Structure 1
């Protein structure tokens, strides 16, 4: 029961949006770190209106993110896995299947992807009413074999 409450309170429902324009290129470069499992890192992460080391997630707003990465393998599918770390504890969030399909949210391309292909992926986080808290958010894009294509962590706080 507590896990469900934490998930509902600390992890925004992640909604994806397909942006086949260059607006995401104007967003601020974000400070990001490698995921705990040492998965491949993206070459860049940009978050709209996040010029600081800790991204402020404003209740009632949408946080927009884009990441550039090079595919490490050929794959017919891509899935987004989101995890919040609160007080060091991981809380995975299962995205609805239509939103978890990262292939739909690649910029100017779709799946299948080829090894070595340079890709940009756009993700939007609607921020509901959540308690003010600091957390780490991990975004991991995995292929059909559940192997990571790109993964990063950011520091955030709900304000």
Structure 2
């Protein structure tokens, strides 16, 4: 294989494995501003979440406040009703953020979203909040997903 062919194959593989930024809606980020949301793997939107698998969620945000701690709260919204969506680590300081959080700095919050086999196959909206030590939202985002077998 010549060099040009190898480069074309490499670029094609990288393009297929990179997820496009997820379309999200801000739902009340009162003390922060989200600039990007990525979910991997999520090759198309709404993201199809397969039962029994885990998905990597990466939220890039800028904090407008200082905070010693941060806590994530995740809900699945079904027919307008928020249902708890447990995640393995709810402490944002253990999820890619070096605490204490500083004012006017950018952070990458990274966590896993496990999809239990017991979940029904359904379309829903995931609401993901990261709260500061006063209970205000460093970020609050919503994005549609579809749970599939």
- With the shorter chain as reference, the TM-score category is 0.7 to 0.9
Aligned to 1:117: 105
Q: CA RMSD in A?
A: 1.8
Tell me by how many angstroms 1:150 deviates. 1.1
1:1-159, aligned counterparts within 5 Å? Answer: 26-35=18-27, 37=28, 39=30, 40-93=32-85, 99-106=89-96, 109-129=97-117, 130-159=119-148
* Structure 1 unmatched ranges of 5 or more: 1-25
Secondary structure, counterpart of 2:34 in structure 1: coil
| Contact in 2 for aligned 1:41/1:151 (Cα 8 Å) | no
Distance 1:47 1:74 in 2: 27
The answer to whether the 8 A contact 1:75-1:113 is kept is yes
Unaligned segments of structure 2, at least 5 residues: 1-17
Deviations for 1:69-118, whole angstroms, at most 9, x for unmatched residues? 0012001000001111001112245667xx21111112xx5100111111
1-structure distance, mates of 2:80, 2:57: 23
Number of residues paired by the alignment?
A: 129
Which structure has more strand as a fraction of its residues? 2
Structure with larger Rg: 2
Output the CA distance in 2 between the equivalents of 1:32 and 1:41.
13
Q: CA–CA distance in 1 between the matches of 2:105 and 2:116?
A: 35
TM-score, normalised via structure 2 length:
0.79
TM-score (norm 1): 0.74
Measure the CA separation in 2 of the matches of 1:43 and 1:102.
17
